[in-house]
Amino acid sequence: MVLLDPRLRKRLDEKLAKLNALRPLDPAQIEKLREQLEVEMTYNSNAIEGNSLTLRETWLVLQEGMTIKGKPLKDHLEAKDHKEALDFLYDLVSQDAYTISEHLIRQLHQLVVRETDTEFAGRYRTGSVIIGGADHTPPDAVDVPRRMEGLMRWLKKNQKALHPVELAALLHHKLVFVHPFFDGNGRTARLAMNVLLMRKGFPLAIILKNDRKKYYRVLQAADKGDEAALTLFIAQAVERSIDLYLRIFSKTEKGKLLTLAEASKGSPYSSKYLNLLARTGKLDAFKKGRVWYTTREAIERYLGERLRRRV
C-alpha cells in the first residue's frame, strides 16, 4: 500500500537524512526547542478538543505554574496532564527497546486524563459513545478489547511494509476509529502517532488548532476508506516540524521564507496555484498559522522535477 505521493515521500526522507547528518545536535538548543514544542503541542492538541487556554496562557500554566483567571480548572489540569504525557513520551523514545502496545496506549491515556477523568484513566470504556458531528459510530464497548488486539496485530504486520509516516497516520485513524476510551481518544492517538514517528528520528509532529476543520474532514474521509487525504495531512505536519529543525540547525536551510503571493512574483505560477501545490504536498512549503510560506529554491526544485519528468 502506497498512500504518500512519491515526491513528498522522497522529500521527507531527504530532509530526515539531512537532520540525521547534523546529529548530535546542540543540547542547549534541543532543550529550548523541546520546551517550545511541548507548549505548542499541548496547546494545539487540547484546543482541538475544546480547551479554552490560549498559547500564551498554556505557556504560563506549564512554565510559570500560573492560574489563569476566568479559565476553568479542568483546562489547567488538561494542560498539565498533557505535558506529563509528553515528558513520558520523550523519555520513552530515548530508550532503544520499546514497542507500541495496548499497555503503552493505556499508559498514554492514563497520563492525558489523570486529573480530569480519574475513574477511567487508562481504562477502556464500559459503555457506548457517540462522536459529535461524525457519521461514524464507534464499536460497542464489549468489542473494544478485541478491536484493540486486532489493531496491535495490524501494527506488527505493517510496521516494516509501510513508510513511517503512513504507518503513523493509519495508526492514528484506526485508534480513534475504535475510540477505546470515554474521553481523551484524540490526544492519546496524536501521542501514539508521535511515538512511531519519533522512534524513526522524526521530530514531534503537531496538528494545529487552525487546521481543526480540515483534520476532522480527513478523518471522516478515512472512516469511509479514503486514507490518502489523512496521510497527506499528517505528512505535512511532520514536514513542518522537520523544516523547523533544519532552519535552526542547518546552515544550508536558510532560504528566505516568502508568502505564496510574494513567491508568485517572477514565478510562472500564480499564488492560487502555488497554494494548490502546497496543500497537495507537491511544493516544499511551510505553514504558519493559516498562511503558507515557501522559498525561491523550493519553486526552482519543483520546476526542475517537472522538467525531468517530461524528458
Per-residue pLDDT tens digits of the chain, which is 311 residues long: 779 999 999 999 999 999 999 988 888 899 999 999 999 999 999 999 999 999 999 999 999 999 999 999 999 999 999 999 999 999 998 887 678 999 999 999 999 999 999 999 999 999 999 887 778 899 999 999 999 999 999 999 999 999 999 999 999 999 999 999 999 999 999 999 999 999 999 999 999 999 999 999 999 999 999 999 999 999 999 999 999 999 888 865 556 888 888 888 888 889 988 998 888 888 888 787 778 888 888 888 888 877 776 65
In a shared domain, residues 307 and 209 = no
Residue 189 and residue 284 share a domain:
no
Per the domain annotation, does 1 fall within a domain? no
Structural domain contains residue 94? yes
Give me the catalytic one of 76, 172, 173, 179. 179
Total domains in the chain come to 2
| Same structural domain, 290 and 144 | no
* Final residue before a domain boundary, out of 254, 279, 301: 254
Domain boundary among the residues 213, 228, 254 is at: 254
Distance between CA atoms of 76 and 100, rounded to whole angstroms?
28
Of 308, 309, 310, 303, the C-alpha closest to 284 is: 303
Q: Is 179 tagged catalytic?
A: yes
**Whether the Cβ atoms of residue 205 and residue 237 lie closer than 8 Å to each other:** yes
**Residue 208, domain member (yes or no):** yes
Residues 55, 56, 61, 64, CA torsion sign:
positive
Q: Same domain for 250 and 267?
A: no
148 in the same domain as 119? yes
Same domain, 203 and 119: yes
Beta bridge mates, 286: 293
Same domain, 106 and 175: yes
Say yes or no: 236 and 269 in one domain.
no
Residue ranges making up the domain that contains 88: 6-254
CA atoms of 28 and 19, how far apart (whole Å) = 17
| 168 within domain boundaries | yes
Chain center to CA of 265: 32
Say if residue 132 is in the same domain as residue 88.
yes
Cell of 48: 482541538
Grid cell 489563569 — which residue?
68
Is the domain of 164 the same as that of 274?
no
Q: If phi over 0 gives left and psi between -120 and 50 gives alpha, with beta otherwise, what is residue 205?
A: beta
The residues near 52 (Cβ < 8 Å, ≥ 6 apart) are 71, 72, 75
Nearest to 264, CA basis, from 247, 252, 278: 278
C-alpha distances out from residue 211 to 45, 105, 117, 223, 283, Å: 11, 25, 27, 18, 19
Same domain, 241 and 190: yes
244 with 286, same domain: the answer is no
Helix (H) or strand (E) holding 288: strand 286-288
What is the CATH classification number for the domain harbouring 145? 1.10.3290.10
Q: What share of the chain is helix, strand, coil (3-state, %, to 5)?
A: 60, 5, 35
- Chosen domain end from 254, 285, 303: 254
Strands 258-259 and 286-288: unpaired
For residues 270 and 224, the answer to whether their CB atoms sit within 8 Å is no
